[in-house]
Structure formats: C-alpha cells, structure tokens
A and B are shown apart, each in its own frame.
Chain A
Amino acid sequence: MVMDRAGEREFGWCGRDQTEAALGRAFATALVGLVYMHSCGVAHLDVKPANILVDRAHSATLIDFGLSLMQRESTRAAGTLPYIAPEICKRAVPHVRAYNTFKSDVWSLGISLFAAAAGFHPWALANVHEQRVATAASTMHRAARRTSALARRGSSSRRRSRTSWPPPSPAWSGRRRRRSSHPA
C-alpha cells in the first residue's frame, strides 16, 4: 500500500524554533481537515497532538481513524485521557449516555492547542486517576486562569516549580512524577 508521506513531527512539538506563525498554520490546517471530516459526517474522536502530524511546511495531517465514527451521537467511552472530552469521561463510570461526537472533537482539538501552545497540559496531575477526576469535573476555569496568568508572564509563578522546555513527552507518562501545585 502506498500512501502520502506525512510530516515527521507531532503537532506542537517543534521545539524551541516553533513560532506562533508555525503553530497557527498547523492549527488552521488541522482545523480545516476536521471541518472537512465533519462535513462528511465523520467524527475523529481521538484528536491529540500525536495524531496530528506536521511536516516541514507546517501543514498538518490528521491520522489514526481507529476510533472514528460516522455517527452524530455515540455512547462509546473511548479516547486518550488528557484530551478526552469531559462529557465522555464523566459518564464513563456509571453508564455512558449519548454524547455529541462532533462537540467532543472540538474539545480535544482545544486541549491539543492548549498543550501545543503552552507546552504542558492544562491539568498536569500526578496520575491517571486524578486526571480523570479533573477531566470529569473540568478544571477548565483553572486552566484558563493558568494560561492567562502565564500570558501575563508569571505573576503567580511563585508556587510553580521549574520544568524544562520543551516538555519531555507529548503523551502523558505516568512514570514521570511531576510536582503538582497540590502537594499530596
């Protein structure tokens, strides 16, 4: 099987030389691709930086349609944890109710953009369970606060520990224990 050669880098992980223009272009191309997918009635349902490949010209390619559905509504709880939408995550525990697949794609794209632009996840919590809790309860207010505080350049950086830029891995690795702002 012969296919196009997609880009070699993941969305947002271009290192220090990543400019805003490059990020904007990658985001816009991914957005256009998703718009096209949705217009065809396909929901991706696994949008994350690892599934958005970016080539040297900074144009993005969506890959990995393993979880995609051609349904407007679904009850299947699947996705990748830091990027999964809260309505999926919240209802995963008792029973999954129907959720809008297209809307959850929007959420995942937003989290991907957040991670790509900020270099860390909106909730960098200690383990997978806490992440699920945080996703289900949606600390998005907190996340927005974080970005704004960062955008205002570290006005509340006092409590934050140092980390390296770029961050070590786009996917969440449970082994790497970071210090959260809530010491256990």
Chain B
Amino acid sequence: MVGPATEEELSPCLSSPAAPLLVKLLDGMLVIDPDRRPDLRGVCRLAHEWLAAVCPSEQRRVGAVLAAAESGASPLGAAVAAAAAGEKEQTFGHPGDGARADSADESNDPVYRSSFRSSGSVRSSRGSGHLRLIEAEEAEREKQEEAEREKQEGESGGQLEGGSGGQLEGGLREESNCSNCSRSSEGRLREWLDELDEESEERKRHPDALSRQRAEAAGRSFNNRTAQEGWQRAEAAARDAFAACDADGSGAIDRCEFGAVLRLLGLPPELEEPMMAVADANGDSLVSYAELRALLIKFGAVPLAGEAAAAAGAEEEEAASDGTAAPAARRRGESREVLTSSAPPAQSGGCRRNVKPLLQRAQQRRLVERLACDRLAQLRGVPKLQVEREPRASRDGAERSCVRAAVALTCPVRTLRLQACGRFDALDELSDTEDADDVAAFDSWRTGEPQIHRYSSPRGVDASLDPSSGEPAAEVGARLKPPPAGEVAAALAWPEHARVLR
C-alpha cells in the first residue's frame, strides 16, 4: 500500500478536521455484502454529516433530493431541477475573496449573514412543498441560534474568540518581571488552565451557542475555509501552549520547566524522567517545539467525530468548530504532553469534572506509561518489552481456523501467497506478527486511544516467507511439498501461482 509518508504529502481532505466524517461515510458506503450495503438514499443520509461539515449548501441540496425521493410525491427529476435552480443563486467563493472575508470577522458581519439567509429564502420559494418545509425549519432554527448567540455574546463579550490569546499575553506581561522561572511558568500555566475551564463552563451553559458556532464554522467552510487553515490554527494553539510552558523563552522546555508543569498538574515528581524520555526524542534533555509537535501528531490532536459526540462537554467542541478547536486542541495536546494527570487537578472545573474524559485520560495514562517504559528500555539498550503472546500449542483447531479466517479477511493477498506455498505455519505466524501496528491503528481508531508503537517486529513475515532462509523453512514441516528456493524458481515450478506471487 502506497500512501503519503509525510504530512505535507497528505491530501488536504485527510488532514482536515472533517476527515473522520469522511471516513465514516466511506465506511458506510463500502460494505462488502451488497445486501447490507446502503442504496443511494442511504448514501445521501450518510453523506449528510460530512457534507454539512465541508459544504453545507450541497448538504441542503442532497437533503432536499432525499426528501423528494422518500416522499415519492413529486417526481425526483423536478426536485433535482429545483435544487439545481436554487443552487444557481449561490456563488462558490474564490480563494481570494475567501481570505478577505476571513480577515474580517464574518460572524459579526451583517452583510454576510443576510446574504447567507437570503439565498435560503430564494431557494425555498422555488422548491417543492417538502423543500419549502425544510427551508422554513432551517430559517426558524437559524433565527433561534442567532438569538442565542447574541445573548451569549452580550454575556461573554467575545471571550470565546480572541480571549484566550489575550489572556495569555496578559499573563506574559504580568509575570515577565518575575525572576523565578518555575514560578512564572506556573502562573502562566495556571491562568491558561483556568481560562480553558472557564471556556468549557461557558460552553456548557450555552449548548445552543455551540451549534451556532458549528453552523458558523460550516458556513465559513462553505465560503473559504481551506483544509490547511485548521491545521494552521492547531499549530498556533500548539505554539501558544509551548510558549506557556517555556518560561524563560529559550525556545525549548528544559527539566526545570518540565518539572514545573508536572507540579502544576499534580503529578508525582518521579514521573518526570519517563515522561521526559517520551517527550524528548533526540535525548538532549530539552523538549523543543518540533518534538512537541511530533508528539501531538503522534497522539492524534484531531479527535474523532463519533468519540467527540459521545464525550461530554468540551470534548465535543474540538471536532466541531475550528474557531474553538484551537484552545481545546491545545488543552488536549497539553494534557497529553504531560502524560495526563492521575487525579483531577485541584483547580479543576468544567470539562474535568466529567467522568468520561477522566476515564479516557486514565486509559491514556496507562498506555502512555507503557510507552514510556518502552522508550526507556530502548534508550538503555534493553530489549523491548515483548507483547505477551499465547503459545501456539495452546490454540485448538477451531480457534486457529478463526484466526486464519480473520487474517484472510484482512490481508488476502499475502494469505493467498502463503496458502499457495502450503505455509500454514507461516500463516499462523502471520496472524501473530503481521500488521501488528495496522491492527493497533485500527483499534486506536475505534477506541479513540492513542496508538502504541511497537518498534520492530522481531521476526518479519517476509523473512519467514523467504524459502531460502534457514530457520523458518525448517518450521514448514513435511506435510506439504516445500516450495523451491527462490521466487523465480517458485514461479517456474508453479506457474499457476506465479501470477499471485509476482
């Protein structure tokens, strides 16, 4: 499988916050069993979420078509035509004017909002009965959200938008004359945590404001948001967090500052060494910004939509709106960087009172501790911790066949190769070693937990595949004809498998 190796090569569609929604859509569409695969109406329903995130106008159109198709009252062609006619009213923004609109605050721009709404009304006047109903509902909801938002704006006074950065700056100014570096960093960090708590509290008090902001974010994406913009925001957030930890402004977090962060989060000081070992990739006992960034990327700063919907409070906003994703991602990244506190910190409020995030963090902590042990062992040259494996003898036949079936499902080509050679032993070996980190990636994707890397598989499957290598070939056993040495010879000897092998 060839895929992009670095973040720069990655398609913007996969590096954006809406990527989990896209994956969900693809998961729904690509069902192997045609009886369980949805038809196109089902696809319309599935695509709803992703389209709402990336392209809300299209989402409305698909919704209208779906409604018409399901009612069966109006001919679908008419609905398509109506939707197409309504679509002509909308303009698809150029990147240039997108950047311009982004520089101004479009949420406060009455022209932007009114134009957004008027296009909806135009469409509603042209559509069928169902269309009109949908549009009316939408307009109603929009109005409610607007009212909510104005109320909330009056209370918080734009706290959510630029407040965090301002507070951070204020903290910097206040503490800049303090000579004790740990003190100053502590003060700034404390302020920063408080502010995050405040933010999440705010969000809990106004759940509708959340949906409003989500719509806003979607509206922005409709007009001008590129996928890279979200990344830039996340970068900026990570930079802020780094600046908050870096008390003396040296451009790197040293042990003193690291210890201060730990103390602040209420972690025991003996955890400092393993955590530093995890964060410090090049071993100079300084955590540079590049290392922090690598860590954030490794632990997946972008959460999954499903997980986010399940989790309560502030966990939810991270996936939703890009305006709020920055501080949330910062909090999440920060808490992960310092290995996630064992107990909720004393100054905890807001999201930290929720049980589920706590549980998640406890799980993360366990995982990260294992990661730390692993890394320490690697640093000291000790052979890495082996994953405990069931001895092969204890597997009975049924279980083995189950495992084989699972392997055949997940990697059919290699299974086929092995079966062609009669390498059932190697097949079982495959189930042990093959795709270990792929499975881990999949599991981590399902559960939302960070993935643990195994540094190397002790014995590669390809080595066991090679018939000329000694020890695995001896394992093959005499029950089937052993393959001839070398792949060319194999291809010559077994022409019917040659196509599979090559």
Contact = CB atoms under 8 A, between A and B. Distances in A.
B416 interface: yes
B311 interface: no
Interface of B is mostly: helix
A24 B60 CA distance: 12
A82 to B, nearest CB: 12
Interface in A108-145: 109-111, 113-114, 116-120, 122-127, 129-130, 133-134, 137-145
Interface string B74-109: 001100100100010000100100000000000000
B40 A35 contact: yes
Given A152-B441, A162-B5, A182-B413, A21 B222 contact: yes
Contact of A152 (B42, B51, B83, B302): B302
Interface string B301-333: 010000000000000000000000000000000
Contacts of B6: 154, 157, 162
A107 B14 contact: no
Interface of A: 16-21, 23-25, 27-29, 31-32, 34-36, 38-40, 57-59, 85-87, 99-100, 102-107, 109-111, 113-114, 116-120, 122-127, 129-130, 133-134, 137-165, 178-184
12 contacts: A19-B226, A20-B55, A31-B62, A103-B39, A104-B34, A106-B43, A109-B29, A110-B29, A151-B15, A155-B441, A155-B451, A162-B5
B438 A35 contact: no
A159 B59 CA distance: 37
B7 interface: yes
A78 to B, nearest CB: 16
B271 interface: no
B485 interface: no
Contact of B44 (A31, A140, A154): A31
A160 B412 contact: no
Contacts of B469: none
Nearest to B461: A182
Name the residue in B2, B31, B87, B298 with the highest tally of chain A Cβ atoms < 10 Å from its Cβ. Answer: B2
Contact of A160 (B3, B50, B411): B3
Contacts of B492: none
Best-surrounded residue of A35, A122, A126, A130 (most CB of chain B within 10 A): A35
Given A107-B30, A126-B502, A149-B442, 6 more contacts: A118-B13, A151-B445, A153-B297, A157-B3, A160-B5, A163-B9
Contact of B40 (A31, A111, A126, A155): A31
Interface string B412-442: 1110100000000000000000000110111
A137 B41 contact: no
Contacts of A179: 2
Q: Which 4 pairs from chain A and chain B are nearest by CB?
A: A110-B29, A24-B55, A28-B58, A137-B412
B360 to A, nearest CB: 16
Interface stretch (B16-24, B172-180, B362-370): B16-24
A137 to B, nearest CB: 4
B12 interface: yes
Nearest to B36: A103
A154 B5 contact: yes
B65 interface: yes
B26 A184 contact: no
Instruction: Name the residue in A57, A109, A118, A124 with the highest tally of chain B Cβ atoms < 10 Å from its Cβ.
Output: A118
Interface string B53-65: 1110111011001
A138 to B, nearest CB: 4
A127 B51 CA distance: 34
B69 interface: yes
Nearest to B42: A106
Contacts of B32: 86, 138, 140
B43 A124 contact: no
Contact of A103 (B2, B37, B62): B37
Interface in B438-470: 438, 440-442, 444-445, 451, 453, 462
Contact of B225 (A21, A150, A160, A163): A21
Nearest to B442: A145
B1 interface: yes
Nearest to A117: B13
Contacts of B40: 31, 34-35, 38, 102, 105-106
Contacts of A130: 413, 500
Given A24-B54, A151-B19, A32 B62 contact: yes
Contacts of B53: 20
B237 to A, nearest CB: 15
A47 to B, nearest CB: 11
B219 to A, nearest CB: 11
A157 B5 contact: yes
B47 A31 contact: yes
A125 B44 CA distance: 30
B500 A147 contact: no
B354 interface: no
Q: Which of A106, A109, A130 has the most CB of B within 10 A?
A: A106
Given A110-B29, A153-B302, A120 B3 contact: yes
Contacts of B50: 24
A149 B227 contact: no
B144 interface: no
